[in-house]
A and B are shown apart, each in its own frame.
Chain A
Amino acid sequence: MTHAIGQLGAIAATALFIFSLLWMSDPKTARRGVAAGVVGMTIAVLATWIQPEIVHHAWILVAIVAGFLVGVPLSRVPLTAVPQRTALSHAFGGLAAGLVGTAKYYLWLGEGPELLTKFRMTALVAEVILGFLTFTGSLMAAGKLQEIRWIPQRPVTYAGQNLVNLGILALAVILGVLLIAYPAAAWSGFAFPVVIVLALLFGVLLIIPIGGADMPTVISILNSYAGLAAVAMGFVLDNRLLVTAGALDGSSGLILSIIMCRAMNRSFTNVLFGAFGTVQVAKANEDQKEWKQESPEGAAQLLEQARLVVIIPGYGMAVAQAQHKVRELYDQLTKRGVTVKFAIHPVAGRMPGHMNVLLAEAEIPYSALVEMDEINPEMPQCDVALVIGANDVVNPAARYAKDSPIFGMPIIDADKAKTVLAIKRSKKQGFAGIDNELYVHDKTWMLFGDAKGVIGDLVKQFAGGGLH
């Protein structure tokens, strides 16, 4: 009886999860999607908990309460910290898979090695390798995003790096294959932890050479791995619900990774093994052209006289938490009859959809958020392109400079606007460490400073009666 309830619960949960994702197709139905997910998860948990083999209820209760105590504060982080929270949750997902795999291996090894069939061992090894490399890889990514001091932000590379990384992975896989062949040999119980350590190490090394600009892709790939680790766990535990939900997560990560890679004109392998923008940095422009700086008064005048203003936000807006000031500027301009649109590059920010969420937080209507492919044909009619803390996604070098690391990346055509205003934190290069000729273009005017401060100054010009 409880078995049937368990199975029915799993089927119901699977259906609810699929509806949950289906309802994410539109912001209007998305909240229903979350509700479906919550109901599905609750059913799944209860249907498992009532099974007769579960006898230690106190343990379960304590772990669940602890999960709530940590989970609730984690959901209250500022929206600018959402990328690192996401990376952290990939880490937790990987950890859970790795630990359950480890527990199951030693359980079966003790209970009866005949339980360690080839199929189970293959799934176990996959689960443990994927789980633990996702764990440390995601922790590293979260650390980089949080800008923790002892984790280098810039990509760290050294000669033979890929060889070392792949060698460690190969070693883990070879040892894993040996374990599949001899799951219960005298040495197997000791070889298993070695596989774990190698996977943990590989996760760290995989992320070390990756820079901030690649984070949207890397987070998506790690998302995919976390899903696949759950699938492997499903195979180990003979649990179809796990396989299904893991596959949904894995395919979501896969699609996002593909979209992110396309938006940077790069391949998976290039992102993971390419160490973006480190080698080429040295080749800066020889004939440095001069910046032209604009005052807030002048910039405000330009904006006021425009008919169409396209705002191009980037990571700088997120760092400065400038989205609410941007909203004030948006209000001031629309009030004066200026059309304001936001051009969203798929990889702007540090994770897929990052800019959309920040702007939605500031209550900017999502009808004003325009995809790169839709805004680009409009750029020649744009009077002022206002670049807020974005850099590589507007760098014209991507179109023609074959030696540039961003060559071939689709960009937002800010340089086709009649005038460009660019807000930049400092006169240093962008995250990829590349010069941006847009900033020294004849029609570009720079506003240096923290994005929040600069936009605040602009808003003051409008509000304070400096302009009328």
Chain B
Amino acid sequence: MTDYWSMLFVFVLATFIGLGVIRRVSRLLYTPLMSLTNAISAIAVVGSIVVTGADYPTGIRILGAVALFASVTNIVSGFLITDRMIRMFKKQ
């Protein structure tokens, strides 16, 4: 049985860590920050992998595969474009 309370606990603590960390992000980097957090929240990829790859009915796995495609797109484009933007700041 899932311990839902501990999940909520994790959520609240993670939000506070998030608020604390993001507050310190340089204003120069808000655009790359957004593409970076975008890539990170594409961690939905792990859920998509399970739905796509487990022994489920085909229809359900198709939904999973589309979700997996969308998540991987976000991961790849998110990290690459963040790096591209940050390199421009780094040069100086």
Q: Are A103 and B17 in contact (CB under 8 A)?
A: no
In the bound complex, what is the Cα–Cα distance between A227 and B53 (angstroms)? 24
In the bound complex, what is the Cα–Cα distance between A99 and B62 (angstroms)? 10
CB contacts between A and B, total, < 8 Å: 363
8 Å CB contacts to A: which residues of B44-92? 44-57, 59-61, 63-92
Chain B residues near A31 (CB, 8 Å)? 83, 86-87, 90
Q: A59-B52, A71-B80 are in contact. Are A356 and B28 (CB under 8 A)?
A: yes
Q: Are B72 and A67 in contact (CB under 8 A)?
A: yes
Chain B residues near A245 (CB, 8 Å)? 40-41, 43
Q: Are B7 and A27 in contact (CB under 8 A)?
A: no
Question: Nearest B residue to A135 by beta-carbon distance?
Answer: B70
Q: Are A82 and B77 in contact (CB under 8 A)?
A: no
Interface of B, helix, strand, loop or mixed by DSSP: helix
Q: Digitize A230-264: 1 where CB-to-B-CB distance is under 8 Å, 0 elsewhere.
A: 11011111111111111111111111100000000
Q: Are B10 and A45 in contact (CB under 8 A)?
A: no
Q: Are A30 and B43 in contact (CB under 8 A)?
A: no
Q: Are B63 and A24 in contact (CB under 8 A)?
A: no
Q: Which of B2, B25, B91 has the largest count of A CB atoms less than 10 A from its CB?
A: B25
Chain A residues near B41 (CB, 8 Å)? 93, 226-227, 230, 245-246, 248-250
Chain B residues near A67 (CB, 8 Å)? 68-73, 75-76
Question: Interface residues of B toward A: which range?
Answer: 35 or more
Chain B residues near A351 (CB, 8 Å)? 30-31, 34
Chain B residues near A363 (CB, 8 Å)? 88, 91-92
In the bound complex, what is the Cα–Cα distance between A100 and B77 (angstroms)? 21
Q: Digitize A84-107: 1 where CB-to-B-CB distance is under 8 Å, 0 elsewhere.
A: 011001101101110110111011
8 Å CB contacts to B: which residues of A330-382? 344, 346, 351-354, 356-357, 360-361, 363, 365-367, 369, 371
Q: Are B82 and A249 in contact (CB under 8 A)?
A: no
A95 CB to nearest chain B CB (Å): 5
Q: Are B60 and A34 in contact (CB under 8 A)?
A: no
Chain A residues near B68 (CB, 8 Å)? 60, 63-64, 67, 96
Q: Are A89 and B28 in contact (CB under 8 A)?
A: no
Q: Are B90 and A27 in contact (CB under 8 A)?
A: yes
Q: Are A352 and B72 in contact (CB under 8 A)?
A: no
Q: Are B4 and A119 in contact (CB under 8 A)?
A: yes
Which residue in A92, A230, A369 is a CB contact (below 8 Å) of B70? A92
Q: Which of A24, A220, A361 has the largest count of B CB atoms less than 10 A from its CB?
A: A24
Chain B residues near A361 (CB, 8 Å)? 85, 88
Residues of B whose CB lies within 8 Å of any CB of A are: 2, 4, 7, 10-11, 14-15, 17-19, 21-57, 59-61, 63-92
Q: List 22 A-B contacts (CB under 8 A).
A: A21-B21, A30-B89, A30-B90, A60-B65, A63-B52, A67-B76, A71-B72, A71-B80, A92-B73, A103-B56, A239-B46, A242-B44, A244-B11, A245-B40, A247-B15, A248-B22, A249-B37, A353-B27, A356-B29, A357-B88, A369-B28, A371-B27
Given contacts A25-B25, A49-B53, A107-B60, 11 further A-B pairs with CB under 8 A are: A13-B43, A24-B29, A31-B87, A63-B72, A64-B69, A67-B73, A119-B2, A243-B10, A252-B37, A352-B33, A357-B85
